[in-house]
Every structure is written in C-alpha cells, then in structure tokens.
C-alpha cells in the first residue's frame, strides 16, 4: 500500500484534514472530518470499554496474577508547574535540534541520517532527513549534484557503508545538510524543551508560566490519593485516562504519526512491589492482544522488549508495541504504545521532589545549597493495606497508547485494493477499508434499488429501525454498484438493498464488504441480523 493513496482517500472522504487548511495549514496539527471523528471515537470507546467499563473485578482475568479493579479519571490539561518540575519533564523532556544556516530549515538531530563518501579526493557526509530507501536515493542524488557528476560517473562515488545517524558525526564542517548546497552549514545540536508554554492570568509574569501537558499520566499520579480516599479501590487497581497531550515536536511528520497536538489513552496500574514484574508481563501481553483482536495481526505488528540500555531512568522493564507503518523503510517499525514498569518513581517524585539515580538508588536531586532542586508536594502518597497491615509506596505499570497513532495504524491496515465487478459486470479496481466492525465509522448503508415503486419508503423504515442502535447511512442516488463502491471505500461492513423481490416477499439483500457475498433476510430481521454479525 502506498501512503499517498491513503492520505488522498482520507481527505476525499472526510477522515482527516490538515488543520487551518484554508490559511495554508499549520504543521503538526490535524482535524478529523465527519468519518474520521466516528473512527477515532470508536477507537477510544473500544479502549475505554475493554479496559475500564467491561472489566469484571470479581474474577481473575486470563493471565492476570489476581483479580483487580479499574477506574477512570479526566484531569485538566494545565496543571501546577511543579508537577512537571518533579516529574522530570521541565529538566529532561527535550530533543536536540540542528539548524541549517543556508536553507534556514530545522531538523531533529537524531532524525537526520546520511552516508560518508569519497569522491575527487574529498571525503564528505551527505545528509538526508528521510530514512530507508528514500534516504539512500536522496543522498545519491545530492552527492551527484555536489560533485557535478552525470549518471555515467556514478562509479566515481565511493560510499562507506549504509545510512547512519548524524549523531555519530562530531565534525559538522564536512557535512552536506539535507537541504544545503554547500558544506558545513549545520549548527551544533541545541537542546529544545518540548513542552508548550503559556501564561495564566492577565498580568502574565515569569511566575505565571504554565505548560500544556505533554502526557496525561501525571494527572493520574497527582490524583492517586484523591482516588484512594474517595472510592473503595484496593491495590491492585488501575486508573485510566483519555485526553489531549501537546508536544512542540521539532519535525512533526508522517501524517498524524508525530503531531504537536494528539490524544493519549493511558493507564497507571498500582500494585505491590513484589508482584509488579508479573503485572508488567500481564499488561504487556494484554495490550498487544488488544490490537490483534481489533485487526492489527500478522507481521506488521510486533512486541519489542527494550534492551537494558534503552530503559528510561526510572524503568526496570519496558516493551513497545510497534507497527510497520507504510511510510517507514523496509524492516522499520513505529511505536504505537509503550508498556513500562515505572517502579515507585512517580509517586515518590510527587511526595519528595525530583528524583535522580545515585548508584542503584533513587534520591532527591539537590541544588548547589543542598536543598531539593524541585521540591515535592510533601503529601503522603503511600498506601496502607488494612488486611496485611503493610504500608508501602505502590509500584506502577504504565500502558501508554496514542489514540491518533492507533487510528492511523487501523487505517493503514484496513486499506485494501482488489478487483470486483462494476455495475456492468466488468472487473474493475476496488478500494475498500477492511475495518473491524467495532471500528467502522458506518456500520450499515441502506439503499432502495430504484427511487420508485415504494422501495424508498421501505428502505427509510429499515433506516429508522437501525438508527438508534448503530451508525447507518441512507442513499438513494446513482447506480447501486456505485453506491456499494462508495461504502466500501469508507469501510462500511454491510449494505442492505431493497429491490423488486422485497415488494413480493418482504426480504432484502445484505452484502458483505469483504467477501462480496449477498444473502436475503426478512426486512424485519435486519436489525437482529446486523447486531449478531457486528458482535462477531
């Protein structure tokens, strides 16, 4: 599948639009159109239902170390600035950027790659901001131009191995930037905090600076005690939250994959330190299975355990659930969700202050005068188990997913092309989105074969019966074959057609989007038939 076809379909059929498009757009921001909003709502609702509302805390779920409770939260986007100081985001949530003095473009240091080569006695690093095969082609093209070569002179370029990251290069004087014509135009890497700043209140001094949250997780940690005190939850339990997060990404790219405003679906699962490794494995496998059950199966989805040196400063185990998005190079995967064992880092940080590693321990970071660099709340966030009479700071397992990335992966996976007979019986190319029925924006479309003989009236009755139970679409315009194609293209699993036989025996045809099978049911059975098939 090529990404351009999907992007074009998303715009043409109202899944996704560039934000503020009539003003030229704003990089890193996206709007979900009439069908996109239904799709993303279905992703969020599937997550919330499967993780929170349908969870049965009275039984031990398959693979879980014990029974557990799940509850939800909806926190504010702007929180006290100390939250981000203690969490580490204020000091550490940054990327490195490099600027090009010639092209005036800005790049994320670790996203620029390139190849060393020698030609005409000169050794240079030709850089590109595209990975994979595209990067190889671009670097070759740039090198030919730089050395003023023609196609037949290709052999005079001596390449040193594959594309490598710009982070491996220390001397930028021999680097040909991704959009530059001369050498040495890239600035040394500079740190750039990804949190968006804003001001609270009318006067707006430095003391009134606040941040748009870069993750929903911290809102859960700072409410841990509120939830414990206001409900009867007992450890082990999880708090789930879905909400917007904001990151001032240096190079937003790849459609919605890396946006500056996006939505997260996060769970913070609180458990006893002794059982936390078992809970980590449970959540890692359960979250992977969630994507599989909704259709992301096969070799495009993988679960990857982080190596020890990849782990965050607080984590003793992390796995990524990754998808082979079509815009990535061969063999490359992009992160859909991270499942992290965070120990007691977060709750302790909000009690004591920002923590740092000292040997194997976590200690409060101190300033030059020996005081905490960022002071915690001082509130006791430990948990007292009244059955075992034990007090402890719970360990946390965090499955952290992106609603937009999941939606994009479901769109990519759903995109299919095949051949099917058109209205004249001639085999023609068909584009269809093979969504899992739970995710499909429209569940059923209802057509009268022709706009006469009482067919529209029957079709409208069926539409009225379905509408309170599912998203349905009524269409009486144009050839029926074309109406089928339009529904296939937006992933509607079932089309119901009222035809001349309906007038005789009261049956209608139902057509399956994927198999193109058609069968007849009584017009009064449409709702029951669809409900049973949509639940499969």
Residue (38 or 266) nearer to ligand GAP, CB: 266
Q: Which DSSP string corresponds to 361-407?
A: EEEE-B-TTSSBSSB-------EEETTTTEEEPPEEEEEEEEHHHHH
Cβ burial of 205 (10 Å; 0-12, 13-18, 19+) is: exposed
- Rounded to a whole number of angstroms, the minimum distance from the CB of residue 72 to ligand GAP is 16
Residue (127 or 401) nearer to ligand GAP, CB: 401
Contact between 401 and ligand GAP (CB under 6 A)? yes
Q: Which of 130, 336, 462, 526 binds ligand GAP (CB under 6 A)?
A: 336
Q: Which of 111, 241, 400, 487 binds ligand GAP (CB under 6 A)?
A: 400
Q: Report the candidate in 152, 100, 146 with the shortest Cα–Cα distance to residue 123.
A: 146
Residue (248 or 525) nearer to ligand GAP, CB: 248
Stretch that binds ligand GAP, among 292-300, 301-309, 330-338, 451-459 (CB under 6 A): 330-338
Asked if residue 432 lies in contact with residue 418, where contact means CB atoms within 8 angstroms, the answer is yes
Contact between 411 and ligand GAP (CB under 6 A)? no
Residue nearest to ligand GAP (CB): 402
- Rounded to a whole number of angstroms, the minimum distance from the CB of residue 196 to ligand GAP is 12
- Rounded to a whole number of angstroms, the minimum distance from the CB of residue 349 to ligand GAP is 13
- Over the window 238 to 277, marking each residue x when it contacts ligand GAP by CB under 6 A and - when it does not, the resulting string is ---------x-x--------xx--x-x-x-----------
- Rounded to a whole number of angstroms, the minimum distance from the CB of residue 247 to ligand GAP is 5
Alpha-carbon separation of residue 110 from 98, 183, 193, 355, 447 (angstroms): 10, 19, 15, 26, 53
Interacting positions 87-126 with ligand GAP (CB under 6 A)? none
**Chain center to CA of 267:** 15
Residue (336 or 480) nearer to ligand GAP, CB: 336
Stretch that binds ligand GAP, among 106-114, 130-138, 225-233, 398-406 (CB under 6 A): 398-406
- Rounded to a whole number of angstroms, the minimum distance from the CB of residue 127 to ligand GAP is 23
Cβ burial of 274 (10 Å; 0-12, 13-18, 19+) is: exposed
Stretch that binds ligand GAP, among 129-137, 280-288, 333-341, 488-496 (CB under 6 A): 333-341
Residue (258 or 350) nearer to ligand GAP, CB: 258
Q: Are strands 317-323 and 334-343 parallel, antiparallel or unpaired?
A: antiparallel
Residue (215 or 488) nearer to ligand GAP, CB: 215
Q: How many CB atoms lie within 10 A of CB 426?
A: 9
- Rounded to a whole number of angstroms, the minimum distance from the CB of residue 312 to ligand GAP is 9
- Rounded to a whole number of angstroms, the minimum distance from the CB of residue 347 to ligand GAP is 14
- Rounded to a whole number of angstroms, the minimum distance from the CB of residue 95 to ligand GAP is 11
Q: Which residues of 483-509 are buried (b: 16+ CB within 10 A; e: fewer)?
A: bbbbbbebbbbbbbbbbeebeeeebbb
Residue (183 or 217) nearer to ligand GAP, CB: 217
Q: Are strands 301-305 and 261-271 parallel, antiparallel or unpaired?
A: unpaired
Residue positions counted in the chain:
536
Interface with ligand GAP (CB under 6 A), residue total 19
Residue (91 or 335) nearer to ligand GAP, CB: 335
Q: Which of 81, 88, 317, 402 binds ligand GAP (CB under 6 A)?
A: 402
Residue 86 φ/ψ, nearest 5 degrees? -75, -35
- Rounded to a whole number of angstroms, the minimum distance from the CB of residue 181 to ligand GAP is 31
Stretch that binds ligand GAP, among 396-404, 432-440, 501-509, 512-520 (CB under 6 A): 396-404
With a CB cutoff of 8 Å and minimum separation 6, the contacts of 497 are: 446, 447, 448, 449, 480, 508, 509, 511
Asked if residue 97 lies in contact with residue 107, where contact means CB atoms within 8 angstroms, the answer is yes
Structure tokens at 364: 């409060």
Residue 303 φ/ψ, nearest 5 degrees? -110, 125
Residue (262 or 484) nearer to ligand GAP, CB: 262
Question: Where are the strands (E) in 188-327, listed by range?
Answer: 190-193, 197-199, 209-211, 237-246, 261-271, 301-305, 317-323
Residue (131 or 481) nearer to ligand GAP, CB: 131
Q: Report the candidate in 535, 534, 479, 482 with the shortest Cα–Cα distance to residue 512.
A: 534
Cβ burial of 364 (10 Å; 0-12, 13-18, 19+) is: buried
Reported for 355-363, long-range contacts at CB under 8 A and 24+ positions apart, including other chains, are 355/88, 355/314, 356/313, 357/313, 362/314
Q: Which of 178, 219, 295, 338 binds ligand GAP (CB under 6 A)?
A: 338
Q: Report the candidate in 489, 495, 515 with the shortest Cα–Cα distance to residue 417.
A: 489
- Cα separation, 521 vs 508, in Å, equals 6
Interacting positions 198-227 with ligand GAP (CB under 6 A)? 215, 217
Contact between 51 and ligand GAP (CB under 6 A)? no
Interacting positions 160-179 with ligand GAP (CB under 6 A)? none
Q: Which residues of 243-267 are buried (b: 16+ CB within 10 A; e: fewer)?
A: bebbbbbbbbbbbbbbbbbbbbbbb
- Rounded to a whole number of angstroms, the minimum distance from the CB of residue 337 to ligand GAP is 5
- Rounded to a whole number of angstroms, the minimum distance from the CB of residue 406 to ligand GAP is 7
Q: Report the candidate in 413, 402, 403, 399 with the shortest Cα–Cα distance to residue 293.
A: 413
- Rounded to a whole number of angstroms, the minimum distance from the CB of residue 19 to ligand GAP is 13
Kindly list the residues in this chain that would bind ligand GAP in the complex (CB under 6 A): 215, 217, 247, 249, 258-259, 262, 264, 266, 335-338, 398, 400-402, 404-405
């Amino acid at each position: 599948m090529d990404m351009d076809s999907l992007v074009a379909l998303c715009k043409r059929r109202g899944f996704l639009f560039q934000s503020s498009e009539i003003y030229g757009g704003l990089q890193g921001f996206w709007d979900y159109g009439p069908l996109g909003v239904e799709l993303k709502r279905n992703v969020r609702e599937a997550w919330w239902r499967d993780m929170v509302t349908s969870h049965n805390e009275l039984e031990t779920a398959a693979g879980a170390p014990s029974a557990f409770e799940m509850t939800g939260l909806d926190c504010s986007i702007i929180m006290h600035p100390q939250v981000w100081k203690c969490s580490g985001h204020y000091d550490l949530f940054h990327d490195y950027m490099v600027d090009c003095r010639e092209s005036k473009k800005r790049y994320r240091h670790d996203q620029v790659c390139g190849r060393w080569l020698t030609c005409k006695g000169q050794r240079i690093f030709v850089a590109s901001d595209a990975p994979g095969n595209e990067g190889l082609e671009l670097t070759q093209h740039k090198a030919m131009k730089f050395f003023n070569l023609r196609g037949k002179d290709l052999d005079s370029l001596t390449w040193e191995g594959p594309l490598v990251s710009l982070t491996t290069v220390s001397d930028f004087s021999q680097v040909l930037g991704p959009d530059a014509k001369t050498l040495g135009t890239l600035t040394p890497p500079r740190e750039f905090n990804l949190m968006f700043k804003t001001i609270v209140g009318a006067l707006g001094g430095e003391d009134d600076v606040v941040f748009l949250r870069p993750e929903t997780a911290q809102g859960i940690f700072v409410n841990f005690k509120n939830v414990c005190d206001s409900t009867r939850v007992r450890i082990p339990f999880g708090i789930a939250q879905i909400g917007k997060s904001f990151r001032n990404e240096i190079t937003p790219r790849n459609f919605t994959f890396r946006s500056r405003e996006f939505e997260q679906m996060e769970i913070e699962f609180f458990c006893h330190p002794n059982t936390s490794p078992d809970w980590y494995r449970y959540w890692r496998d359960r979250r992977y299975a969630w994507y599989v059950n909704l259709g992301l199966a096969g070799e495009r989805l993988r679960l990857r355990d982080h190596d020890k040196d990849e782990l965050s400063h607080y984590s003793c185990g992390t796995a990524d659930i990754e998808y082979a998005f079509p815009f990535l190079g061969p063999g490359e995967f992009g992160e859909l969700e991270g499942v992290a064992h965070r120990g007691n880092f977060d709750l302790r940080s909000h009690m004591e202050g920002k923590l740092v590693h000292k040997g194997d321990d976590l200690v409060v970071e101190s300033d030059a005068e020996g005081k905490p660099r960022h002071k915690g709340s001082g509130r006791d966030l430990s948990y007292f188990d009244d059955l075992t009479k034990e007090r402890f700071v719970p360990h946390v397992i965090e499955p952290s997913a992106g609603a937009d990335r999941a939606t994009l992966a479901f769109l990519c996976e759903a995109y299919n092309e095949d051949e099917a007979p058109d209205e004249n019986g001639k085999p023609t190319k068909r584009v269809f989105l093979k969504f899992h029925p739970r995710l499909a924006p429209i569940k059923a479309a209802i057509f009268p074969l022709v706009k006469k003989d009482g067919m529209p009236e029957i079709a409208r009755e069926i539409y009225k019966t379905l509408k309170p139970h599912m998203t349905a679409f009524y269409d009486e315009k144009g050839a029926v074959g074309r109406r089928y194609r339009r529904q296939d293209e937006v992933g509607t699993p079932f089309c119901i057609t009222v035809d001349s036989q309906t007038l005789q025996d009261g049956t209608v045809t139902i057509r399956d989007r994927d198999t193109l099978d058609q069968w007849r049911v009584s017009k009064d059975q449409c709702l029951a038939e669809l409900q049973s098939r949509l639940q499969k």
